[in-house]
Amino acid sequence: MDWKDKVVVVTGAAGGIGRALCRRIHAEQVRGIVVSDLDPSATEACATDVGGLAVPADVSNESDIQSLIRQAEDALGPVDIFISNAGITVKGGVDVLDPDWTRLWNVNVMAHVYASRALLPAMVQRGSGYLINVASAAGVLTEIGSAPYSVTKHGAVALAEWLSVHYQKKGIKVSCVCPAGVATPFLDLSDPIHQFLQMSAVTPEHVAECIIQGVKDEKFLILPHPEVAEFFAFKTQDYDRWLKNFARVHEKIEKKRQKM
């Protein structure tokens, strides 16, 4: 799909990948960019930067997403491309308390559901539209330091797959973006696991460029880190060996953590 003259909505747009993406989209001569994030002042700052429309929203709230889409359509017309980029994390395993599991589920999975639910009827009627779910390499591999993040990002990938299977013949395109480490405040460099990710981290601008090109090529799986494709292929070829290798990585990181 060509970005030119399209109406684009980006959530989680006030910083990191989202802000870099808004700036890169602006260069594609789109009809309009709708910038959305939880923080109203940061949302407005990004919108001003790219000449877009600021619409603060809590993506874990379905009514907020419905309002976001309604305001976008009222100002600019039908939404052509919706980039569900907002995401959160928490450290820990199955011991993480239920409220945090629920919080990550709502932001990392249900926000994609809410956007799809609101957009698909009109997109199907028009016979065109593009849904982009920003997940994580954790969604196709795993995230050693966070069970809730890994599980919910797997959910985001699974939803994107389901949407592609069910709607591609109706003219709806779907992409799922799965970066590994990205040089943003999302990386906690006091954490050995995030230190490991930092070694191969890419810039938000690199991820944004990959998304721009991936949409032009209409690729489902957009991988800003080539090594993720290699690890993913290895996982499908020998699942047990892949699990053993990741268990070794976990063991090394835990030993490093104990020495800190």
Q: How far apart (Å, rounded) are the C-alpha atoms in residues 24 and 42?
A: 18
Beta strands in 99-209 (DSSP E): 129-134, 172-177
Mean pLDDT by 10 residues, the chain (260 residues): 97 96 97 98 97 98 98 98 97 96 98 98 98 97 93 98 98 97 72 61 95 98 96 95 91 73
The pLDDT of residue 229 is 95
Nearest to 152 by CA among 113, 185, 198: 113
CB atoms within 10 A of CB 15: 17
Nearest to 1 by CA among 219, 242, 227: 219
Question: Taking the domain 7-226, which CATH number applies?
Answer: 3.40.50.720
The pLDDT of residue 260 is 59
The pLDDT of residue 199 is 61
The pLDDT of residue 200 is 72
The pLDDT of residue 95 is 97
Nearest to 7 by CA among 61, 65, 71: 71
The pLDDT of residue 250 is 83
Whether the Cβ atoms of residue 79 and residue 66 lie closer than 8 Å to each other: no
The pLDDT of residue 144 is 87
Q: How far apart (Å, rounded) are the C-alpha atoms in residues 163 and 112?
A: 10
Q: Where are the domains of the chain?
A: 7-226
For 50, the token pair is 């790219």
Among all chains, which residue has been given the structure tokens 């910038």? 35
Task: Give, in order, the Cα–Cα distances in Å from 64 to each of 1, 60, 71, 122, 156.
Answer: 27, 8, 10, 18, 19
> Which residues lie across from 9 on neighbouring strands?
34, 82
The pLDDT of residue 126 is 98
The pLDDT of residue 257 is 65
The pLDDT of residue 255 is 77
The pLDDT of residue 191 is 65
For 30, the token pair is 């789109």
Q: How far apart (Å, rounded) are the C-alpha atoms in residues 191 and 189?
A: 5
The pLDDT of residue 253 is 77
DSSP-derived 3-state class of residue 234: helix
State the pTM of this model.
0.93
The pLDDT of residue 195 is 61
Q: How far apart (Å, rounded) are the C-alpha atoms in residues 92 and 89?
A: 10
> Which residues lie across from 218 on neighbouring strands?
none
Phi-psi sector, 129: left (phi>0), alpha (psi -120 to 50), beta: left
The pLDDT of residue 196 is 54
Phi and psi torsions of 172, nearest 5°? -95, 125
Among all chains, which residue has been given the structure tokens 């966070």? 146
CA 127 to chain centre: 24
Phi and psi torsions of 130, nearest 5°? -140, 125
